[in-house]
Amino acid sequence: MGISLSTKNKKESYGGNYMIKVNEEQIDRIQVLHHILKTCCDNTNFSAPISQDLARGIRVLDVGSGPGTWIFDMSSDFPRSTFTGIEIQSFMLPTIHPSNTHFIHNDILQGIPFPPNSFDYIHMRNMTLCFTENQYEQIIRELIDLLKPNGYLELCEQDISCYNMGPVTRKIADEMGKLLIQRSMNPFVASRLHVFMKKFGLQTVQRGMVMLPISELDGKIGSLHGQTVFSGLLGVKDMLAKQMKLTGPEASQLVNDYRKELQSIRMYSKYTRVYGQKI
Ligand SMILES: C[S@@+](CC[C@H](N)C(=O)[O-])C[C@H]1O[C@@H](n2cnc3c(N)ncnc32)[C@H](O)[C@@H]1O
């Protein structure tokens, strides 16, 4: 396949409701996280039973495609399929991309620029910090309309809190949870996805969980994932400091204490992958 280069320039901005200001560091975080997730999911980019369809050639949509990392990976594995990414941040859209990929600058909350029954498979991942719970539910309904009969919708989200949290990590997770709830977002929307899918008529809804290490004590993957989680914290640091009424030095201390816990406590974050079929 052709070259996959993502657009990186000096811009940074908030898009839609997304709580993290997107800049180069955050783009790197999204790209590295893709490879960590794939590695921890038995080297797979999806769970739905669509490998043969993808190999034959189908139409795929990825919502909130970011720098296009998932699409680039998938489009090279399945050159006969076509992949469309929708992304609200124009500067995230790749300018050079393989011929079986397309990227559209669009706010999914303002509607989706495709007619019903357009796609065989729709994928959306890591959008917990982008939508209120009601918006998430509404988007699932709209995405199901976009699916062709027998098509699959697949979603993947991470819980805001972790397993085996140290005291600083717990404090941060609690405060993040409060921030989300104030914005009508659900820190545990991952646990609702299968409910929404069933509510809107998807069949054979399947759910799987995977625990990802975030501590340096868990080898290369733990260390790399810990770095991405740490970058994520830097992306919300100012918002969090305001919420917790911390001074600048206190906020820096919190971040340093968090880093120490990543180095010394074996903590794990939970991802949920869910898919269902439109019959
Ligand atoms: C955490 S990133 C996830 C990127 C990608 N899905 C992945 O998992 O690698 C969330 C992405 O969704 C985009 N986004 C947020 N709100 C959006 C909206 N309303 N419409 C389209 N894209 C949106 C953000 O700009 C960001 O690129």
For the chain, the domains span 24-160+187-213+271-277
pLDDT of amino acid 18: 77
Using alpha carbons, select from 159, 161, 157 the residue that is nearest to residue 124: 157
**CATH for 24-160+187-213+271-277, among 3.10.350.10, 3.40.640.10, 3.30.1860.10, 3.40.50.150?**
3.40.50.150
What is the arithmetic mean of pLDDT over 244-273? 97
pLDDT confidence tier of residue 15, bands split at 50, 70 and 90: low
Please, what is the angle between helix 248-264 and helix 167-182, to 10°? Answer: 120
Give the model confidence (pLDDT) of 93-131 as tens digits.
Answer: 999 999 999 999 999 999 999 999 999 999 999 999 999
DSSP 153-211: EEEEEEEEEEES--HHHHHHHHHHHHHHHHTT--TTGGGGHHHHHHHTT-EEEEEEEEE
Based on its alpha-carbon atoms, the radius of gyration of the chain, rounded to whole angstroms, reads 18
Tell me which of 11, 17, 28, 30 to substitute to probe ligand 1's pocket, judged by most ligand atoms within 8 Å of the beta carbon: 30
Q: What percentage of the chain's residues is helix, strand, coil (to nearest 5)?
A: 45, 25, 30
Q: Residue 64: CB within 6 Å of ligand 1?
A: yes
Residue nearest to atom 4 of ligand 1 (CA): 66
How many Cα atoms are found within 13 Å in the side-chain-facing hemisphere of 44?
12
Give the model confidence (pLDDT) of 42-93 as tens digits.
Answer: 999 999 999 999 999 999 999 999 999 999 999 999 999 999 999 999 989 9
pLDDT of amino acid 22: 76
Residue nearest to atom 1 of ligand 1 (CA): 126
Chain-centre distance for alpha carbon 239: 20
Q: Please state, in angstroms and rounded to a whole number, the distance separating the CA atoms of residues 11 and 132.
A: 26
Residue nearest to atom 17 of ligand 1 (CA): 88
Measure the CA dihedral 275/17/6/63, to 10°: 30
Residue 199, CA distances (Å) to 138, 151, 276 in order? 11, 17, 11
Which residue is it, tokens 């796609």? 119
Q: Strand runs (DSSP E) across the chain, as ranges?
A: 59-63, 82-87, 101-105, 119-125, 147-163, 203-213, 268-277
* Residues sharing a CB contact under 8 Å with residue 137, sequence separation 6 or more, in sequence order: 192, 196, 199
Q: Tokens for 267? A: 């903590």
Q: Residue 29: CB within 6 Å of ligand 1?
A: no
pLDDT of amino acid 13: 64
Reply yes or no on whether the pLDDT at 11 is more than 60.
Answer: no
Q: Which atom of ligand 1 is nearest to the CA of 107?
A: 20
Residue 34, CA distances (Å) to 139, 174, 226 in order? 22, 26, 14
